[in-house]
A and B are shown apart, each in its own frame.
Chain A
Amino acid sequence: MSAERKPAVDGPRSSESETRADATPPSRSQPLGMTPLPAASDARTENANAEGTAWLGTVLGLAAWTMFFASLAFAVGWYRMREPWPTLPVSLLGLSLTGLLLLVGSAVLHLGLRRRESPWPARGALLLGLGFLALQAMWTHQAWWTEHVRIPEGGVSASAFHGLTALHALHVLVVTFNLFLVCWRHTRGADVRASLRRHVLGWHFVTAMWVLLFVAVYLP
């Protein structure tokens, strides 16, 4: 962190910084302190930098948002330490298989990113996402109406089951909707590779958070 060391470009720069470069040597006729930069490079570089910036923002944003689910898990952990956590009257295997859809979706998207031109992995993940949401809705419906795991009668465990499942499902819904937009833009001929790459991160995120939800809430 030297205050006076040789200037260096630390990693990728913003598109603005790089594309306004100019080969003219430093001149005193410039506004005070201005040192001209190399001339504009091609649009592809600019796009690559913008993509890199968006990628970093997505990674940091999702990583930080993990704290949201970690906080929810902390709250449930507190209650679980307070008293025995009741076993859910919903099939644990069924819940696991539901989560498996997200895991499969993660794998499909990860592999699909290698075949950039094909829209099928994204479309497949879209279906898996909708399937996940439908199954989660089915399990909560069954818990509420058949097994009488209700709010507020069921206390904090029922609140955690329904509340946290719903919060996670909302996140999955957002990610699935974004994937839908990507697929839709792809059908209209847009280049969605960069966008898809970022949205796949969202899918991995909700998959990881489902594992957290499973451990914190669903396991007895």
Chain B
Amino acid sequence: MSLLSLDHKAVARRYLWSGLGFLLLGGLLALAIRWQWAWPGRSVPGLAWALPESHGALTPPTYTAVFTMHGLVMIFFAVTPLLFGALGHFVLPLAIGARGLAFPRLSALGYWVYALGGVLMLASFAVRLGPASAGWTAYPPLSTSAFTPGLGQTLVTVAVLCAGTSAFTYGLNFVVTVARCRAPGMTWGRLPLTVWGLFFASVLNVVFVPVLAAATVLLLMDRLLGTQFFIAGAAAVGGGGDPVVYQHLFWLFGHPEVYILILPAWGMVGDLVAFFSRKPAHGYRLTAGAMGTVSALSGLVYAHHLFTSGMSPLLGRTFMVLTLLISLPAEVMFLNWLMTLWRGSVRLTSPMLAALATMVVFGLGGITGLALGAVATDVPLHGTLWVVGHFHLTMGAASFLGLFAGLYFWFPKMFGRALHEGLAKVHVLSSAVLFLGVFGGQLAAGYAGQLRRLYDPYQYTYLKHLLPLNQWTTVCAFLLGAAQVVFVVNLVWTLRRGRAAEANPWQVGTLEWTCASSPPGEGNFTQVPVVLRGPHALSQPEVLEQLGRDWIGQAEVLPGVAREGAGEEALATVSTVRSVT
């Protein structure tokens, strides 16, 4: 397909390849960080060409730049674009029976803005004084020109603005597409949970990305025009501004961003658990409602990131209560997943394994987050690797595994070829176990008091005993990196020589699998389907009896019932559509 194609599937593929490229870059940067914590100051294998003066060893400024870029690349250029740009763009119109997104040109424009941001990110590595090095949060005054005067920090700040613009465009596009472009009969109660997840996450994108844009624009003005919004201390002129304002704005976006990253994965888990337990999703409405509740609360809990910023204790308590409250709908959703699994005919396919792994790492990430939601436990843990382990489990591992659950599930639809199931399972299982090794190790080191972002933690006597733990964690990280080779091999092999995918390899009833070819052609459907039922009509006795299978398409008329029920419904819909037109 042309690079200028406006088709949502073509845009999705662009995001997929770009996102995977940035995922590789972000992963390599992560390995460099882990190397430093295991063998501080030693040459990183294969990095001598990039750092000739230190023979490949990370110097303190390089280390700071590496962990800054790792975070920014992963969040803004890898995981978010892969979940929304790749899977969201591809799946959402197909799953609701639309011929495309509501605004195809906006969708293509969003990709090119994202690509421009990506180019700026990459270019920042080549400029004098290196890329950004103020941490992924870019807290001022560290991110102002007083402390990071290089062009790299500016380029990266603009790049983040580009990524935000892209996120705003696809967020808006998704919301309007779900609201306006659903197929006849696709009521809100018949949307797959994946669509619900993408919808709520898109709402959050649309509402909170402008906040990030405001913070970033003010920061850019401080850097380039000399304004004083966030500059304080000796560098301030005329009284200066206040860096804490940036922190509030950043986290007002930043905390919903956690849910922006995980909501699509939650939706996918909800669908996949039902599909591969061969049961309707337990508490479908509660699950969708829980995702909505989490989305609604997500903007009200952000200040738990600022418990140590000197905020009023009253505010601290308020945000603590709100933060702990948000775990309730999350638990409702989690219990619904477990209830769906209960006594189901569980099929351990690669998407299902990835979905189960997502549940495990997300569960662990959520539980460890409770300690950070309460003021009393957050204060001692705040600056430690505990925070890093927690948010990597939720934003990193859970989103990553959710992403791969979706990728393995929809890959045959995207490319018309079937990935090797055995290799896919090896990839998912090894990744899940190694994620627990890496981020579990970080949690343990953090609980033992290791502060995050230290160049050489072992300069502190009380942290010296953590060296073996960090070395084992680093070994897990390198093995995790190696496990991704399995995916790459599987991907390349399948794209070149993989067998053609079956029409409906997972035997599910959603529209993309039952009404569209693999890969879908222009316009997705030969005829727009009329939806008759929800997405999880599995193991229904009448379907088993009449069709001899345990699933039925969302738009498939059940023989025998056609005259009395479904057919009448379909015809009623047809007449309704006609009356509207």
**Residues of chain B with a CB closer than 8 A to A13's CB:** 180-182, 184, 577, 580
User: Looking at the complex, which one of A33, A57, A71 makes contact with B176 (CB distance below 8 Å)?
Assistant: A57
Name the residue on B nearest A59 (C-beta): B176
User: Looking at the complex, which one of B189, B556, B573 makes contact with A2 (CB distance below 8 Å)?
Assistant: B189
Instruction: Answer whether residue B441 sits at the interface, using C-beta atoms and an 8 A cutoff.
Output: no
User: Looking at the complex, which one of A1, A4, A18, A60 makes contact with B206 (CB distance below 8 Å)?
Assistant: A60
Instruction: Answer whether residue A87 sits at the interface, using C-beta atoms and an 8 A cutoff.
Output: no
Q: A65 to B248, alpha carbons, bound, how many Å?
A: 18
B581 in contact with A41 (CB, 8 Å): yes
Distance from A47 Cβ to chain B, minimum over Cβ atoms (Å): 12
Q: A154 to B252, alpha carbons, bound, how many Å?
A: 28
A32 in contact with B527 (CB, 8 Å): no
**Residues of chain B with a CB closer than 8 A to A25's CB:** 567, 571
Contact with A along B235-274 (1 / 0, CB 8 A): 0111111101100110010000000000000000000000
B572 in contact with A12 (CB, 8 Å): no
B214 in contact with A75 (CB, 8 Å): yes
Instruction: Answer whether residue A136 sits at the interface, using C-beta atoms and an 8 A cutoff.
Output: no
Q: A194 to B330, alpha carbons, bound, how many Å?
A: 43
Name the residue on A nearest B534 (C-beta): A3
Instruction: Answer whether residue A184 sits at the interface, using C-beta atoms and an 8 A cutoff.
Output: no
Contact with B along A13-26 (1 / 0, CB 8 A): 11011111111011
Instruction: Answer whether residue A56 sits at the interface, using C-beta atoms and an 8 A cutoff.
Output: yes
A17 in contact with B237 (CB, 8 Å): no
Q: A143 to B404, alpha carbons, bound, how many Å?
A: 56
Instruction: Answer whether residue A8 sits at the interface, using C-beta atoms and an 8 A cutoff.
Output: yes
Instruction: Answer whether residue B471 sits at the interface, using C-beta atoms and an 8 A cutoff.
Output: no
A17 in contact with B182 (CB, 8 Å): yes
Instruction: Answer whether residue A7 sits at the interface, using C-beta atoms and an 8 A cutoff.
Output: yes
A12 in contact with B228 (CB, 8 Å): no
B176 in contact with A60 (CB, 8 Å): yes
Contact with A along B523-561 (1 / 0, CB 8 A): 101111111111010000000000000000111110100
B534 in contact with A34 (CB, 8 Å): no
Instruction: Answer whether residue B569 sits at the interface, using C-beta atoms and an 8 A cutoff.
Output: yes
Q: A37 to B515, alpha carbons, bound, how many Å?
A: 14
Instruction: Answer whether residue A100 sits at the interface, using C-beta atoms and an 8 A cutoff.
Output: no
User: If A19-B581, A155-B239 touch, does A75 touch B183 (CB 8 Å cutoff)?
Assistant: no
B515 in contact with A162 (CB, 8 Å): no
Interface centre among B180, B207, B240, B252 (most CB of A within 10 A): B180
User: If A3-B190, A151-B227, A155-B239 touch, does A17 touch B181 (CB 8 Å cutoff)?
Assistant: yes
User: If A1-B285, A34-B526, A52-B180 touch, does A14 touch B228 (CB 8 Å cutoff)?
Assistant: no
A30 in contact with B188 (CB, 8 Å): no
Instruction: Answer whether residue B114 sits at the interface, using C-beta atoms and an 8 A cutoff.
Output: no
**Residues of chain A with a CB closer than 8 A to B237's CB:** 152-153, 155
Instruction: Answer whether residue A68 sits at the interface, using C-beta atoms and an 8 A cutoff.
Output: yes
Name the residue on A nearest B186 (C-beta): A7
User: Looking at the complex, which one of B182, B187, B285, B577 makes contact with A21 (CB distance below 8 Å)?
Assistant: B577
Q: What would be 29 A-B contacts, judged by CB atoms less than 8 Å apart?
A: A1-B285, A1-B289, A3-B285, A3-B533, A4-B534, A5-B187, A7-B569, A9-B184, A11-B179, A31-B515, A33-B515, A34-B525, A35-B574, A37-B574, A37-B577, A38-B577, A38-B578, A45-B581, A56-B176, A60-B206, A61-B172, A64-B168, A152-B227, A153-B237, A155-B236, A156-B239, A156-B242, A160-B229, A162-B227
Q: Which 6 A-B pairs have the closest CB atoms?
A: A155-B238, A33-B553, A7-B185, A71-B214, A14-B181, A159-B227
A contact set with B: CB distance below 8 Å: 1-14, 16-23, 25-26, 28, 30-38, 41, 45, 49, 52-54, 56-57, 60-61, 64-69, 71-72, 74-75, 78-79, 82-83, 151-156, 158-160, 162-163, 167
B contact set with A: CB distance below 8 Å: 97-100, 102-103, 106, 168, 172-173, 175-176, 179-185, 187-190, 206-208, 210-211, 213-215, 217-218, 221, 225-229, 231, 236-242, 244-245, 248-249, 252, 280, 284-285, 288-289, 503-504, 509, 511, 514-515, 523, 525-534, 536, 553-557, 559, 562, 567, 569-574, 576-578, 580-581
